[in-house]
């Protein structure tokens, strides 16, 4: 796209020139808010640690996140500030950390416009026009008068100047995703009659102000190729506006997509194709500057395809680097990184205000404790249960140099997580299970599938330290008829139920994440589903971004009936009796009743295991220890526990007792 011959040496490993700078390779760590700042907008030590890891992990350019240029444009309580000279010192710590790691440092500048709320910023929000963002229950913004719009233009320039003083090598103007600049670009949100009614004017002025503030610095723009809503901007219109705004004179154009009303294009889930925005990004090539592409570029093959075949000049990688900060170095070496499964747990965590974690990376939100220095010989470790928590425990344990064995009574790795990977909402979930399988192999962990180790068997096992990653059984309430063959606990049903011929109708009792995902899966196969939920909506436990597509499908599908605020009172062979706020209801039919009401929270299996093996240290992890619900939490707990767990009385290893073949 930069005039280089198409396909000529355009691989992730080759350098690319952006303005006066040359990036050592074509992988850019995307700007990502992760609640890594304090409430004052100053980066924490963990922020430094993370950007340093990204730099050391091989990405040529590492961004911080969308930093707000004026206080009334702050969207989130822990967003990075660059609105005041007081912010420079904190940003400099990030720049230094990135530079020490060997990468260039980028700052992205934003104003939230109507997406900022008084509750967070302390100010009445401002926007091109008074159009509230109903999708986030946004405040009705004040219409910017021309003088205030001009002030904001200057604020972008001032923020760029501060960023460069703090050590930024690259400035990216955030004109994507529905924030203030995109509000000026879009006819949905810019209803003005003055000169700012021309969608190109505000951006043109911002570009000029930033250029003037930091002459010689590499400056580019991030833009949504399309808004992704029926009345929103498409690719051609966006290209034309950018052209008129003078984006052709910039040093790069970084192409993303979507807006808050169509968040599936901002952080696409695994249901959407890998590298999906690359085709749209081609439309920006004629503007002149090098073009970058973001969106579901999560493996080496997609990275190379987007660069070589789609003609992108660089790739901007977000979640894959959140999952593994060394992703870049690994794909360049041909090693498998810890894979992002595109679940959007991270995107939804932003709303919590807590440091943003990751389903597959237990270190994303907080560094793990350092392993204590070994005092004596390392214990041998038995991990019982090969769900994600067990897999993490086994890999961590082996990486610490402990002989490790993992057993599972089923014939596969990954537990119910692997079974859920068969649901159409989760097509990428298998990737992390596959990755663990490879890692177990490389670390020499002995894997015994189809092996039940019941509490009574523990005393006879060789290992001193037993990690119980057995999860918890699902709860089936003791209502009349609960014992009928048509009633199945949902995760037990998943084991085989997805491959077996489906019935024509199902009742799913429990509209939590799992119940809703199964209902969605069944409905997509033409099965009639009645979803009985305790709350007002299906999947209330899931964040809005992760459930955007399945929830829309469940609502639209005529074959799905959702009964809110409801519970099942009794089940008969040909009827299910439901109580709702509106009264009682009988669902006729003989199809399966799948129960998804969460785990049976009893710690009885662990107590039994401890009682049966008094000479051993038996330590539960993940759901078995009450840290379940979300895989991210279970995996983190497993990692932390294994690092710190030790047998009460370490004993010397006796080779003659050893079974199995691992080193
Ligand atoms: C937790 C989270 C925070 C994000 N914050 C920003 C941001 O500050 N600025 C921005 O332009 N995009 C942001 N994004 C979007 C990413 O930069 C990226 O474009 C998007 O995740 C798609 O790329 P990926 O599939 O590689 O993750 C964020 C995404 C996530 C998941
Ligand atoms: S939380 Fe999910 S989507 Fe986000 S980086 Fe981790 S695996 Fe990827």
Q: What is the DSSP annotation of 9-52? A: S-STTS-EEETTEEESSSEEE-----S-B-TTSPBPHHHHHHHH
- Under the banding of pLDDT at 50, 70 and 90, the label for residue 656 is very low
Residues with CB under 6 A from ligand 2: 319, 322-323, 340-346, 358-360
Atom 23 (ligand 1) nearest CA: 295
Which one has a higher pLDDT value, 657 or 289?
A: 289
Ordered alpha helix ranges (H), 381-489? 388-399, 415-420, 430-443
- Please, is 108 exposed, middle or buried when counting C-beta atoms within 10 Å of its C-beta (0-12, 13-18, 19+)? buried
Atom 7 (ligand 2) nearest CA: 340
Atom 6 (ligand 2) nearest CA: 358
- Per-residue pLDDT tens for 201-242? 999 999 999 999 999 999 999 999 999 999 999 999 999 999
Report the DSSP beta bridge partners of residue 17: 22
Report the DSSP beta bridge partners of residue 580: 583
Which residue among 30, 358, 547, 634 has the greatest number of ligand 2 atoms within 8 angstroms of its CB, and so is best to mutate?
A: 358
Of 547, 483, 559, the closest CA to residue 515 belongs to 547
Ligand 1 centre from 350 Cα, in Å? Answer: 11
Ligand 1 centre from 316 Cα, in Å? Answer: 9
Ligand 2 centre from 364 Cα, in Å? Answer: 10
- Per-residue pLDDT tens for 112-166? 999 999 999 999 999 999 999 999 999 999 999 999 999 999 999 999 999 999 9
What's the chain's average pLDDT? 94
Task: Output the pLDDT for position 388.
Answer: 97
Task: Output the pLDDT for position 264.
Answer: 96
Kindly give, in sequence order, each residue whose CB lies less than 8 Å from that of residue 352, ignoring residues fewer than 6 positions away: 35
Rounded CA gap, 167 and 170, in Å? 9
- Structurally, at CATH architecture level, domain 11-28+61-73+105-315 sits in Alpha-Beta Barrel (3.20)
| C-beta of residue 223 within 8 angstroms of C-beta of residue 283 | no
- Under the banding of pLDDT at 50, 70 and 90, the label for residue 629 is confident
What are the tokens at 188? 């949905």
Kindly give, in sequence order, each residue whose CB lies less than 8 Å from that of residue 142, ignoring residues fewer than 6 positions away: 124, 125, 126, 127, 130
Average pLDDT over residues 40-55: 98
CATH 2.60.120.10 for the 381-473+601-644 domain, yes or no: no
Ligand closest to Cα of 546 equals: 2
| C-beta of residue 640 within 8 angstroms of C-beta of residue 467 | no
Q: With 70 as the cut, is the pLDDT of residue 652 above it? A: no
Which residue carries 């599908």 as its tokens?
Answer: 557
Point out the ligand 1 atom lying closest to the alpha carbon of residue 268: 25
Rounded CA gap, 38 and 79, in Å? 8
Task: Output the pLDDT for position 603.
Answer: 66
Which one has a higher pLDDT value, 604 or 74?
A: 74
Kindly give, in sequence order, each residue whose CB lies less than 8 Å from that of residue 157, ignoring residues fewer than 6 positions away: 206, 209, 210, 212, 213
Cα–Cα distances (Å) from 202 to 31, 113, 190, 193, in that order, read 22, 13, 11, 13
Point out the ligand 1 atom lying closest to the alpha carbon of residue 297: 26
Domain extent listing, the chain: 11-28+61-73+105-315, 381-473+601-644, 476-599
Average pLDDT over residues 567-591: 96
- Per-residue pLDDT tens for 479-500? 999 999 999 999 999 988 788 8
Ligand 2 centre from 104 Cα, in Å? Answer: 24
Phi, psi of 311 (to 5 degrees): 80, 15
- Per-residue pLDDT tens for 158-201? 999 999 999 999 999 999 999 999 999 999 999 999 999 999 99
Q: With 90 as the cut, is the pLDDT of residue 40 above it? A: yes
Ligand 2 centre from 57 Cα, in Å? Answer: 18
465-468 vs 487-489, strand pairing mode: unpaired
- Per-residue pLDDT tens for 238-278? 999 999 999 999 999 999 999 999 999 999 999 999 999 99
Q: With 90 as the cut, is the pLDDT of residue 527 above it? A: yes
Ligand 2 centre from 318 Cα, in Å? Answer: 9
CATH class of the 476-599 domain in this structure: alpha beta
Residues with CB under 6 A from ligand 1: 30-34, 65-66, 108, 174, 176-177, 222, 256, 266-267, 294-297, 317-320, 346-347, 350, 356
Point out the ligand 1 atom lying closest to the alpha carbon of residue 342: 25
Task: Output the pLDDT for position 442.
Answer: 97
Of 1, 6, 106, the closest CA to residue 59 belongs to 106
Task: Please give the model's pTM, rounded to 2 decimal places.
Answer: 0.95
Which residue among 266, 356, 360 has the greatest number of ligand 1 atoms within 8 angstroms of its CB, and so is best to mutate?
A: 266
Q: With 90 as the cut, is the pLDDT of residue 313 above it? A: yes
Task: Output the pLDDT for position 96.
Answer: 98
Average pLDDT over residues 91-99: 98
Neighbours of 430 (CB within 10 A): 19
Which residue among 33, 338, 343, 630 has the greatest number of ligand 2 atoms within 8 angstroms of its CB, and so is best to mutate?
A: 343
Ligand 1 centre from 440 Cα, in Å? Answer: 31
- Per-residue pLDDT tens for 390-402? 999 999 999 999 9
- Per-residue pLDDT tens for 320-340? 999 999 999 999 999 999 999
Task: Output the pLDDT for position 655.
Answer: 36
| C-beta of residue 123 within 8 angstroms of C-beta of residue 152 | no
Ligand 2 centre from 208 Cα, in Å? Answer: 36
């Amino acid at each position: 796209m930069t005039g280089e011959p198409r396909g000529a040496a355009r691989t992730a490993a080759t350098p690319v020139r952006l303005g006066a700078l040359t990036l050592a390779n074509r992988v850019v760590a995307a700007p990502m808010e992760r609640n890594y700042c304090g409430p004052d907008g100053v980066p924490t030590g963990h922020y430094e640690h993370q950007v340093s890891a990204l730099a050391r992990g091989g990405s040529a350019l590492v961004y911080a996140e969308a930093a707000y240029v004026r206080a009334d444009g702050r969207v989130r309580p822990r967003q990075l500030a660059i609105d005041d000279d007081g912010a420079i010192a904190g940003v400099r710590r990030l720049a230094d950390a990135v530079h020490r790691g060997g990468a260039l440092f980028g700052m992205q500048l934003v104003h939230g416009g109507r997406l900022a709320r008084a509750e967070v910023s302390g100010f009445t929000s401002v926007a091109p026009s008074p159009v509230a963002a109903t999708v986030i229950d946004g405040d009705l913004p004040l219409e910017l008068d021309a003088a205030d719009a001009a002030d904001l233009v200057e604020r972008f320039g001032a923020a760029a100047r501060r960023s460069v003083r703090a050590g930024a090598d690259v400035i990216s103007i955030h004109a994507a995703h529905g924030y203030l600049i995109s509000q000026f670009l879009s006819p949905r949100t810019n209803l003005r009659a003055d000169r700012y009614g021309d969608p190109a004017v505000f951006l043109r002025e911002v570009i000029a102000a930033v250029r003037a503030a930091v002459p010689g610095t590499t400056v580019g723009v991030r833009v949504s190729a399309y808004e992704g809503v029926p009345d929103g901007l498409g690719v051609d219109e966006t290209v034309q506006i950018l052209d008129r705004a003078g984006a052709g004179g910039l040093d790069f154009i970084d192409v993303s997509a979507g807006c808050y009303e169509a968040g599936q294009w901002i952080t696409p889930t695994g249901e959407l194709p890998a590298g999906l925005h690359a085709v749209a990004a081609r439309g920006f090539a004629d503007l002149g500057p090098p073009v970058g592409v973001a969106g579901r570029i999560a493996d080496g093959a997609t990275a190379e395809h987007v660069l070589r075949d789609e003609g992108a000049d660089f790739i901007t990688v977000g979640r894959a680097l959140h999952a593994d900060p060394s992703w870049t170095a690994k794909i360049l070496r041909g090693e498998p990184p810890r894979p992002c499964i595109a679940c959007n747990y991270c995107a939804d965590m932003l709303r919590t205000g807590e440091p943003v974690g990751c389903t597959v990376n237990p270190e994303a939100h907080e560094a793990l404790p350092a392993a204590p220095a070994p005092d004596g010989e390392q214990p041998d470790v038995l991990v019982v249960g090969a769900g994600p928590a067990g897999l993490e425990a086994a890999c961590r344990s082996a990486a610490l140099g402990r002989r490790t064995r993992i057993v599972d009574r089923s014939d596969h790795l990954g537990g119910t997580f692997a079974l859920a990977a068969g649901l159409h909402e989760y097509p990428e979930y298998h990737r992390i299970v596959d990755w663990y399988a490879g890692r177990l192999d490389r670390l020499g962990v002995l894997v015994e599938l189809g092996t039940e180790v019941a509490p009574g068997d523990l005393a006879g096992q060789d290992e001193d330290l037993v990690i119980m990653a057995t999860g918890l059984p699902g709860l089936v309430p003791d209502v009349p008829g609960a014992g009928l063959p048509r009633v199945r606990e949902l995760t037990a049903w998943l084991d085989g139920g997805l491959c077996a011929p489906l019935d024509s109708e199902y009742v799913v009792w429990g509209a939590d994440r799992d119940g809703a995902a199964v209902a969605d899966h069944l409905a997509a196969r033409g099965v009639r589903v009645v979803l009985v939920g305790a709350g007002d909506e299906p999947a209330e436990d899931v964040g809005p971004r992760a459930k955007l597509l399945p929830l829309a499908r469940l609502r639209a599908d005529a074959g799905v009936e959702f009964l809110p605020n409801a519970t099942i009172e009794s089940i008969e062979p040909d009827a299910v009796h439901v109580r709702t706020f509106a009264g009682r209801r009988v669902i006729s039919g003989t199809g399966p009743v799948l129960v998804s009401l969460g785990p049976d929270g009893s710690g009885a299996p662990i107590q039994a295991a401890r009682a049966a093996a008094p000479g051993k240290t038996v330590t539960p992890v993940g759901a078995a220890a009450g840290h379940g619900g979300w895989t991210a939490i279970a995996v983190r707990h497993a990692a932390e526990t294994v690092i710190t767990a030790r047998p009460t009385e370490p004993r010397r290893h006796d080779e003659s007792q050893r079974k199995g073949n691992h080193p």
